[in-house]
């Protein structure tokens, strides 16, 4: 940066140029060191407002010891799919409640009016697509699905499973992580 100033001497205007050294731009300006003391403090009254936080990190406790029962109870969310003579239904159950968290059925008028038949393979695929969308909206992206072995290979069950997977739902849950304290 430079500055100039002038004065008169014997009627002649004389200008002097004064130069100031420029700051080197390749060196960063010195910053004060952040104190680590404030970052290490933990609020003793912290309340976790996300009740599913431990579940999403696979740290929540699963109910163990139910391997011999059908359906087993070692899950966070369980998907149940059923077909009757007239309708197709699917429910998502939480491990803490016997009441379904989410459900979808061809008994719903909005789904029923779009289908030619309420119990065909296309109906199973439609139920899978709608339920996958509802699960995404609710934030449930992983769940356990165990089909009854003798119905697992049917086209209806396979189309339902593929519709759920295409909707972004993973039909298995992560293994629980055990952290020693």
Q: What is the pLDDT of residue 173?
A: 83
Q: What is the pLDDT of residue 86?
A: 93
Q: What is the pLDDT of residue 26?
A: 58
Residue 30 lies in a domain: no
Model confidence, pTM: 0.67
Q: What is the pLDDT along the chain (181 residues), one digit of tens a residue?
A: 445 555 555 655 555 555 555 555 555 666 666 666 666 666 777 676 776 777 777 777 777 766 677 666 778 889 999 999 999 999 999 888 889 999 999 999 999 999 999 889 999 999 999 999 999 998 888 898 887 777 777 899 999 999 999 999 999 888 777 666 5
Q: What is the pLDDT of residue 174?
A: 80
- Please count the structural domains in the chain: 1
Q: What is the CATH number of the domain that holds 65?
A: 3.30.420.80
The C-alpha atoms of residue 142 and residue 169 are separated, in whole angstroms, by 6
Residue 52 lies in a domain: no
- For 152, the domain range is 60-166
Q: Which residue carries 């430079």 as its tokens?
A: 2
Q: What is the pLDDT of residue 96?
A: 80
By the 10 Å C-beta count (0-12 exposed, 13-18 middle, 19+ buried), 93 is classed as buried
Q: What is the pLDDT of residue 95?
A: 81
Q: What is the pLDDT of residue 53?
A: 72
Q: What is the pLDDT of residue 153?
A: 78
The encoded tokens of residue 166 equal 């295409």
Residue 135 lies in a domain: yes
**What Cα–Cα distance (Å) separates residue 33 from each residue in 36, 40, 59, 90, 111?**
9, 15, 36, 57, 61
| DSSP string for the chain | -EEEEEEEETTEEEEEEEE-PPPPTTSPPP-PPPPSTTTS---TT-----TTHHHHTT-SPP--S-TTSSS----SEEEEEEE-SS-EEEEEEETT-SSEEEEEETTSHHHHTT-S-SSSHHHHHHHHHHHHHHHHHHT--B-EE---TTTTTSHHHHHHHHHHHHTT-BSS-PPPP----
């Amino acid at each position: 940066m430079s500055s100039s100033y002038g004065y008169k001497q014997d009627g002649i205007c004389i200008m002097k140029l004064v130069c100031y050294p420029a700051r080197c731009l390749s060196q960063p300006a010195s910053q004060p060191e952040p104190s680590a003391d404030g970052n290490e403090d933990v609020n003793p009254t912290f309340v976790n407002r996300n009740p599913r936080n431990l579940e999403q990190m696979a740290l929540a406790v699963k109910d163990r010891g139910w391997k011999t029962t059908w359906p087993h109870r070692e899950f966070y969310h369980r998907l149940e799919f059923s077909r009757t003579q007239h309708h197709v239904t699917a429910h998502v159950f939480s491990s803490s409640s016997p009441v379904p968290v989410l459900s979808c059925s061809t008994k719903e008028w909005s789904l029923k009016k779009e289908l030619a038949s309420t119990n065909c393979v296309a109906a199973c695929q439609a139920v899978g697509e709608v339920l996958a969308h509802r699960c995404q909206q609710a934030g449930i992206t992983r769940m356990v699905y165990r089909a009854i072995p003798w119905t697992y290979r049917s086209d209806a069950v396979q189309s339902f499973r593929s519709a759920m997977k295409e909707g972004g739902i993973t039909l298995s849950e992560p293994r629980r992580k055990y952290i020693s304290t």
